[in-house]
């Protein structure tokens, strides 16, 4: 508003800060591979080690607010990054045939580690969350690591709140109530602040897995594809966005499982519109979950009718399912939804649209 006039006035504002000095990234890539086959090519093995170093990476850097940049537009893209990625990949496949029966099984394993070499001398924070940032990228550290407070269970009663003190007896969380999260004072200075933040999770898995299988017997064929990850974390923002804090809707599951009396829950805090303890608004390990999963990407079964039946054409019917099931302990809608975005800001689940489950019937006729 301008002056005392309460009417809205049309205006313009800078949506994003441009940078005319941007240039292409450069990449050094090294690979060592080995291909082997045994037992008349029934068994094949492929192994690879790789190293990739990226220079002049495009990263977001905080602008100088003293120059008039607003907080909501406080970052700009610059060529300031250097990153190294090392990893390996191993594929083992077996194919065989016995009479009318043929089959094949393959397993693919891979692992990669990304480390920030140069970030212009200062940590780079990404993925804004309630005025803070979830991810901290720091020179010499793995990229896309979550950075925040360490949650240490829930206060079950007022006695536990009063006992959570600094070395001089000061209560660390004076706004807490029974059912709120207990946060650790990592530096033992009697104050819960940014100095108590630490790395609380990593977006990248220890191991990526792919499995495929197929077989055919006479006129019947079947194939299945699986893939997944082991050892990666997901920062599940939906825990906060659908907790009711701030007046939003609440997941039915969260409503029923949240703390509502001593001993009723030890991991999901009480629901509160005000959230004075910032249970659902503070970046913390409460939101970090094991994102490991195994997903069936595709199942298909088909039957080809003998030509003695169809006479002049080849007729095949099939049924396939895409994403029919996923095995995971992750409580969000889709653990894979967090594996999107730039490599420096991966692993955060913003309640993106999950992979759809699809069932298809097929009919193929060839004359």
Q: What digits encode the pLDDT tens for the residues 69-96?
A: 665 566 778 888 899 999 999 999 999 9
pLDDT at 354 exceeding the cut of 50: yes
Torsion of CA 50, 53, 54, 60, to 10 degrees: 100
User: 3-state class of 338 per DSSP?
Assistant: helix
Q: Could you give the CA distance from residue 332 to residue 289 in angstroms, rounded to a whole number?
A: 9
3 state SS of 98? strand
Residues in Cβ contact with 168 at an 8 Å cutoff, skipping those fewer than 6 apart: 190
Residue 253: band (very low, low, confident or very high) from pLDDT cuts 50, 70, 90: confident
On whether the CB atoms of residues 302 and 316 are closer than 8 A, the answer is: yes
State the pTM of this model: 0.85
**List of residues 6+ apart from 63 with CB closer than 8 A:** 17, 69, 73, 74, 75, 76
C-alpha dihedral, 227 to 233 to 235 to 236, nearest 10°: 50
| Amino acid 72: pLDDT | 57
Beta carbons within 8 Å of 299's beta carbon, 6+ residues apart: 223, 224, 320, 321, 324
User: What's the pLDDT band for 314 if we cut at 50, 70, 90?
Assistant: confident
CA atoms in the 13 A half-sphere facing the CB of 269:
33
| CB contact at 8 A, 183 and 195 | no
Please tell me the distance from the alpha carbon of residue 274 to that of residue 286, in angstroms, as a whole number: 18
> pLDDT at residue 187 above 50?
yes
Whole-number average pLDDT of the chain: 89
Alpha carbon 303 to chain centroid, angstroms? 39
Q: How is the chain split into domains, by residue range?
A: 28-149+197-243+280-366
Tell which residue, 315, 301, 304, 300, has the closest CA to residue 218. Answer: 304
Residues 322/298, Cβ–Cβ less than 8 Å: yes
* pLDDT band (50, 70, 90) for residue 326: very high
- What the block records as the tokens of 167 is 């070395």
Count CB neighbours of 193 within 10 A.
10
Look at residue 284 and tell me whether its pLDDT is greater than 90: yes
CA distance 224 to 301: 9
Q: Is 271 helix (H, G, I), strand (E, B) or coil?
A: coil
Mean pLDDT of 282-300: 97
CA pair distance 367, 365, nearest whole angstrom: 7
Residues 118, 54: contact at Cβ < 8 Å? Answer: no
> What is d(CA 60, CA 48) in angstroms, rounded to the nearest whole number?
32
Per-residue confidence (pLDDT) for residue 67, from 0 to 100: 59
pLDDT at 1: 46
Banded model confidence at residue 65, pLDDT cuts 50, 70, 90: low
Q: Where would I find the H helices in 39-180?
A: 158-163
In this structure, are residues 177 and 155 in contact, taking their beta carbons and an 8 Å threshold?
yes
- Give the pLDDT score at 339: 72
DSSP assignment letter at 187: T
Query: How many of the other CB atoms lie within 10 Å of CB of 144?
Result: 27
- Closest by alpha carbon to 158, among 175, 171, 173, 177? 177
**Residue 208 pLDDT level (bands cut at 50, 70, 90):** very high
Any idea which of 246-250, 263-267, 303-307 has the lowest mean pLDDT?
A: 246-250
3-30: average pLDDT? 79
């Amino acid at each position: 508003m301008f002056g005392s006039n309460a009417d809205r006035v049309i205006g313009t504002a800078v949506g994003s800060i441009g940078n005319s000095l941007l240039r292409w990234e450069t990449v050094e890539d090294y690979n060592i591979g080995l291909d082997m086959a045994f037992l008349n090519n029934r068994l094949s093995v492929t192994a690879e080690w790789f190293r990739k170093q990226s220079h002049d990476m495009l990263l977001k850097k905080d602008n100088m607010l003293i120059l008039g940049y607003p907080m909501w537009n406080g970052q700009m893209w610059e060529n300031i990054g250097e990153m190294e990625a090392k990893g390996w990949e191993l594929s083992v496949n077996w194919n065989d045939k016995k009479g009318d029966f043929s089959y094949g099984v393959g397993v693919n394993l891979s692992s990669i580690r990304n480390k920030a070499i140069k970030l212009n001398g200062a940590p780079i924070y990404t993925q804004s969350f309630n005025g803070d940032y979830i991810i901290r990228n720091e020179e010499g550290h793995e990229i896309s690591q979550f950075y925040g407070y360490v949650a240490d269970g829930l206060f079950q009663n007022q006695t536990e709140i009063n006992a959570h003190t600094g070395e001089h007896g000061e209560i660390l969380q004076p706004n807490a109530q029974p059912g709120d999260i207990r946060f650790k004072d990592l530096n033992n200075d009697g104050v819960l602040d940014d100095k108590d933040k630490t790395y609380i999770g990593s977006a990248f898995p220890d191991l990526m897995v792919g499995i495929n299988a197929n077989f055919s017997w006479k006129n019947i064929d079947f194939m299945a594809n699986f893939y997944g990850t082991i050892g990666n974390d997901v920062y599940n923002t939906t825990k906060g966005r659908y907790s009711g804090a701030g007046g939003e809707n609440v997941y039915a599951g969260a409503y029923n499982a949240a703390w509502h009396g001593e001993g009723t829950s030890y991991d999901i805090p009480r629901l509160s519109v005000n959230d004075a303890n910032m249970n659902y608004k503070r970046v913390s390990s409460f939101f970090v979950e094991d994102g490991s999963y195994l997903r069936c990407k595709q199942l298909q079964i088909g039957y080809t009718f003998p030509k003695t039946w169809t006479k002049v054409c080849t007729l095949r019917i099939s049924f396939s399912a895409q994403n029919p099931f996923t095995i995971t302990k992750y409580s969000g809608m889709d653990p894979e939804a967090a594996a999107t975005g730039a490599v420096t800001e991966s692993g955060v689940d913003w309640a993106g649209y999950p992979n759809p489950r699809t069932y298809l019937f097929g009919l193929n006729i060839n004359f």
